[in-house]
Amino acid sequence: MNDETLFEEAAELLQQADALLVCAGAGMGVDSGLPDFRGNEGFWRAYPALARAGLNFTEIANPRAFAQDPELAWGFYGHRLQLYRDTVPHEGFALLKAWGERLPNGAAVFTSNVDGQFQAAGFDTVHECHGSIHWLQCLKGCGRPPEPADALRPDIDETACRWRGALPRCACGALLRPNILMFGDGGWDGSRYEAQAVRLQSWLRRCERPLGAWAAEIRVAPGRVAGSNKAPARRWIGPNNEPATPGDPANRPGPSGCDPKGAESVVAPLAGASSPGCAPRLGSSPLGSQRNPGFLPPTLLVVELGAGTAIPSVRRFGEAVVLEGGGRLLRINPREAALPRSLGLSLPMGALAALRGIEAALQRDDQRGG
């Protein structure tokens, strides 16, 4: 299947949606010029001083590094903080935001990225499952809540990857550290992100619609994403892209943890777990432990961008939403794009190239009159 056909299929999935869930990993920021730290070689190219010290990402992204060599740990995180502050989100963020604004239930974000790019691009409902570099917490866990890093001005010796000057301190006198879930991190304060998770779960619940509302939508043929004057009728598609009847039990999710054919879903651990890879749950599902039989699965499109398998928080969450709550998954990944057709569509390419291609397909469809 060529790229143009893939873009057309992806555009059709978006046209059929009434809500957009963006699930983003480190690959989303690559087109903005941010490193993704893929493997030791990629990490050491970005931070040669750490290569000379023989430290890999898991060793420096660790609370022990702040206790053992705080100037080096803050050299690494201070450099990243300034880099993320200076980086402008690429065009793909604006495309996703515009698509979401045209859908009845809007858009929300689940991301393992700590860079704050989605907030900088103007997204409101964002769950940062691994925390944010733009917030700080006490290394000793004194009980004070996380505080913003706005006043922090990094001064880094980039050759040695070391912080220069006085280190950031908590009001209690202890060292401050980024409010990020690190490796081997039993002291992470996830309170900000638990609140984000609740907001995201509330948004997912609002995507549910009663059967009567579905019938009304089919009759009135709701407007398209790209703003065409010709609005095609909404279609319900079954697990293998075949036309299906709204409300048909064969096309509804199975019991919690299963898809309609009984395949076991992958549900990530509770938010706030002490190891990387956490994702929120409500009961046993991101959409709740019970589903009302008077409601259809949401016409939700999950767009997963640059989410790998090494730390699969993002992939697991997006898959769980689709398997347990309905909807379709669009996986965009240049290296790890494999996806069963029963779940959706995969685009084996970078985030920005894929999003531009989908937007071009939407515009072509508009010009054809829908």
Residue 370 has a pLDDT of: 53
The confidence band for 46, taking pLDDT boundaries of 50, 70 and 90, is confident
Query: pLDDT band at residue 294, thresholds of 50, 70 and 90?
Result: very low
> How confident is the model over 220-274, as pLDDT tens digits?
223 333 333 333 333 333 333 344 433 333 333 332 222 223 222 222 332 333 3
Q: What are phi and psi of 345, to 5 degrees?
A: -135, 145
- For residue 293, pLDDT over 80 is answered with no
pLDDT at residue 36 tops 90:
no
Q: How many domains does the structure of the chain reveal?
A: 1
* From 79, 90, 127, 130, the catalytic residue: 130
pLDDT of residue 41: 82
Q: pLDDT at position 39, please?
A: 73
> What CATH number did the domain enclosing 352 receive?
3.40.50.1220
Q: What is the pLDDT of residue 10?
A: 96
For residue 247, give both structure tokens.
């409300």
- Strands (E) across the chain are located at 19-24, 107-111, 126-128, 131-138, 147-148, 156-157, 162-163, 176-180, 209-210, 295-296, 300-305, 328-332, 344-347
Flag whether pLDDT at 97 surpasses 60: yes
Run of H or E residues at 319: helix 313-325
Cβ burial 192-205 (10 Å sphere, 16+ → b, else e): bbeebbeebbebbe
Using the predicted structure, report yes or no on whether residue 49 has a pLDDT greater than 50: yes
Give residue 209's pLDDT band: very low, low, confident or very high (50, 70, 90): low
Task: Identify which of 155, 180, 96 has the alpha carbon closest to the alpha carbon of residue 356.
Answer: 96
Structural tokens at position 165:
């000057």
Structure tokens at 330: 């669009």
Q: How confident is the model at residue 94 (pLDDT cuts 50, 70, 90)?
A: very high
Return the pLDDT at 42: 81
Q: Write out the residue range of the structural domain in which residue 148 sits.
A: 3-367
pTM over 0.85: no
Q: What percent of the chain has pLDDT over 90?
A: 66
- What is the pLDDT at residue 107? 97
Average pLDDT over residues 1-21: 94
> Is 130 in the active site?
yes
pLDDT one-digit tens code per residue, 120-167: 999 999 999 999 999 999 999 999 999 999 999 999 999 999 999 999
pLDDT at 1 (0 to 100): 75
